[in-house]
A and B are shown apart, each in its own frame.
Chain A
Amino acid sequence: MAEHAETETGERDQRVRFYQVGSHVVGNRLLDPEQRTVQARMDRSNTLTSGHRACRGCGEALGARYVLDAAMRASEGKLVAANATGCLEVFSTPFPESSWQLPWIHSLFGNAPAVASGVAAALRAKGREDVRVVGQGGDGGTVDIGFGCLSGMFERNDDVLYVCYDNEAYMNTGVQRSGATPPAARTANTKPIGEHPGNAFGQGKDMPRIAMAHGIPYVATATVSEPHDLERKVETAIGLRGARYIHVFVPCPLGWGAEPRDTIKLARLVKETGLFPVFEAIDGEVTGVSKIRRRTPVEEYLRPQRRYAHLFGEHPRPDIVERLQAIADRNIREYGLFGDGSEEEVGW
């Protein structure tokens, strides 16, 4: 999205100012404090606090804090979360320690959207609609086992913001393929064995589009590499009523065979390649896309991840890389991810 721009009036002509790192960074002292992210604030709620047992460089831990801190701020601290089973749940709440700093419930793997709906229904019955409800889970809990409950929650337009932290496989159980695993990726049950190494090419479950097909008020995608964009979307979502869905791309160093320090880089690259379109949709229609700033070939995104190592090893598979590039190119065409946005690319 466009950088925060401030128009100054006065004796000088109206003009837009340049802010060195603009809104690409978390803070930026040159911006008005209100324009910095929630993550830049000393009083951010650290909704997921220290001491959790996520792996080094965990994208999901980061994404959850980004989302919930923003939601906490937008709801003035009146927030309840229902969490699906998965890494996020396991690393945050092993007895006797919890890393959460909000009312939080974990029930099952496949029912987080329904539990959230139940919480929302209870709050409405009690006239406590000032308290907002977030359901959250990983991609397995969302696009696979929790799909039915999520679809029901959407269809009924329950007053829940559901957030999927997508790391593209079942990480908690040892990196098995999910309905969100991308083609060609190696997982514990899509190993690079045989003629078609890695996960099969196919449609996968494009959960954001599926959410949009329900016609719910708000759907957005985001990554952990752009907290401004992510927080704005969370804030927008909290400001709306009814079923809302945010799909956050969160790299998993362990499951992807990537360096822990590359978590944000990979989240950045997946967007810059076009493999993961970052957009938002209101009432089922795409209303905004986050443009690619530095268009990047998919190979640059794939190479640092061992789950794609079989595409580049001794027996490289440029044909498969090409097919992945074609997916990215199609996304770029379909969503208009590149170009026609010079004003954004200049960074004013």
Chain B
Amino acid sequence: MSAKPYAITLDVGSSLANKTGSWREERAVYVDRMPPCNDACPAGENIQAWLYEAEEGEGGYERAWRKLVEDNPLPAVMGRVCYHPCETACNRGQLDEAVGIHSVERFLGDEAIKRGWQLERGAEPSGKRVLVVGAGPSGLSAAYHLTRLGHAVTIRDAGPMAGGMMRFGIPRYRLPRDVLEAEIQRILDLGVELELNHKVEDVLEAMREGGFDAAFLAVGAHIGRRAYVPAGEAERIVDAVSLLEGLEEGEKPLLGRRVAVYGGGDTAMDAARTARRLGATDAVVIYRRTRERMPAHDFEVAEAEEEGVMMRWLSTVKHFEDGKLLLERMELDEGGFPQPTGETEELEADSLVLALGQEADLSLLDGVPGIEVADGVVEVGPNMMTGHAGVFAGGDMVPAERTVTVGVGHGKRAARHIDAWLRGDEHEPPLRHELAGFDLLNTWYYSEAPRAEQPRLEAVRRASSFDEVVGGLDESNALFEARRCLSCGNCFSCDNCYGVCPDNAVIKLGAPGERYEIDLDFCKGCGLCVAECPCGAIEMVPEET
């Protein structure tokens, strides 16, 4: 300084002595928020986290898959059959279209099968044994998680093949069996014992006999609900579950050319689409309400329609005689309930498939003390335990939405509670972060990117084969789709905060992923970093005075 003229010439960078942080009334704070996809996932997947890995491309796919299977061991299945509530919740849906999470999940699942990635065991063996009843999604999920937690697991299933509803309820044109089998096998390869054709008649007896310390019941709901339809003796009436199960076991059901399906759920759609593939020229779904009120998912209805399935809305079946169905027209009352109108019409049909819902066979719990059953399902606590200590249950046999993903989620949740219970402990689920709503995003920053659509089998071929209808994304499209993720509520290292601070008060800690820190010596609290964070991962909080 001495050589320089006093006061009018200054040393560079000397303003660092002026701590402008003292101006601040509010400070910026980095937060992690709950992305809506994660929030909505019944299987509790950390979707955003595995998308983040997948976004890196080739180098990130295996990391993405490993992140994914921490929660769900069946990504290839899930990417095909999950009704993806994550995508319904996805904030990108409010921008253009939701991220095709399921298609990326499927890509990762298929990559894993193709490349032979194996699951890993986690903890040291605990010496505890757990009986899992039912080799469906819930049971397989529980078995997987329990094994990773160090417990020895045996699955018993009454059927001849593992998979439960994934095999017997979902047609192979939606879920090819080689995919299903590969993912089941990978779980079994962890050392899970599978005993097929082994119906557990009495759970307590089975536990005693096998020396199991706990049991997880996931027998599903395989009994088709029957409705009384007055019918002639010769009329063919089958239930949809039996139809699909029989098909899977190699039967060739004779439904005729004209098949009517009664019901409005996804199973009704599956039954009608299966009927088309079995040679029916006319497949008609009869439902008492309107399309909007139909429980079947839109895409199922749309695909069914593409395949020539016809719909008869606002109709009930009065009776079935002489190859003719008598239908009554309904209308919706103010509450949205269908009311008969008295108007009728006839519909020719060679068979009637009932798809009116399924019930669980709970006979294995007969006489077990403490068990409570209501509306045909078993009551469980938040820890998935039934009223009988050590007996847990999940999937379609407990009160919940009946989907594969919910089942997988139950399996995971039950496994964690069983693990805690076996250790004489209680599992505390981590606190959920505040939801990252759309309004927290600054969507300007995301590139325009229409959703990558999955290829579809031509409709003509669908009518004659059980080939998979919906194809997978190729690598580049899957990568594209992964990168459509907005990373709602969680930093994805875009450097915006670091860049936009007029006071250089954001410190970049390192390479991508290492995040940032606010330099409170200089942060004036302008809030630009918050406003320009694309994903809402920073918030302003009042300065303590």
Contacts and interface: CB of A to CB of B under 8 A. Distances in A.
Interface residues of chain B: helix, strand, loop or mixed (majority): loop
A96 B446 CA distance: 43
B532 to A, nearest CB: 5
Contact of B495 (A17, A36, A62, A263): A36
B12 A52 contact: no
A261 B526 contact: yes
Contacts of B13: 49, 98-101
A138 interface: no
Interface residues of B, number: 59
B146 interface: no
Given A25-B495, A57-B526, A263-B528, A12 B476 contact: yes
B522 interface: yes
A347 B447 contact: yes
B218 to A, nearest CB: 38
A58 interface: yes
A29 B501 CA distance: 19
Interface stretch (B159-167, B223-231, B262-270, B480-488): B480-488
Contacts of B532: 264-265
A102 B492 CA distance: 33
B476 A17 contact: yes
A21 interface: yes
Nearest to B499: A26
Interface in B495-543: 495-496, 498-505, 508, 510, 512-513, 519, 521-522, 524-528, 530-532, 534
A24 B444 contact: yes
Given A61-B503, A100-B13, A39 B495 contact: yes
Which interface class (under 10, 10 to 19, 20 to 34, 35 or more) fits A?
A: 35 or more
A20 B16 contact: no
A49 B502 CA distance: 9
Contact of B448 (A97, A227, A345): A345
A274 interface: no
B3 interface: no
B17 A20 contact: no
Given A53-B20, A101-B13, A263-B528, A27 B499 contact: yes
Given A15-B476, A97-B17, A21 B534 contact: yes
A65 interface: yes
Contacts of B11: 98
A4 B479 CA distance: 17
Contacts of B12: 98, 100-102, 104
Interface of B: 7-8, 10-20, 23, 55-56, 444-450, 475-476, 479-480, 483-485, 492-496, 498-505, 508, 510, 512-513, 519, 521-522, 524-528, 530-532, 534
27 contacts: A20-B446, A21-B494, A25-B499, A26-B496, A27-B495, A27-B499, A27-B512, A29-B494, A37-B499, A39-B495, A39-B499, A46-B504, A49-B13, A50-B16, A50-B522, A53-B20, A54-B503, A56-B23, A56-B526, A62-B500, A62-B528, A95-B8, A97-B15, A260-B528, A261-B530, A345-B448, A347-B449
Given A20-B446, A51-B19, A62-B500, 5 more contacts: A21-B445, A26-B498, A40-B499, A49-B13, A51-B17
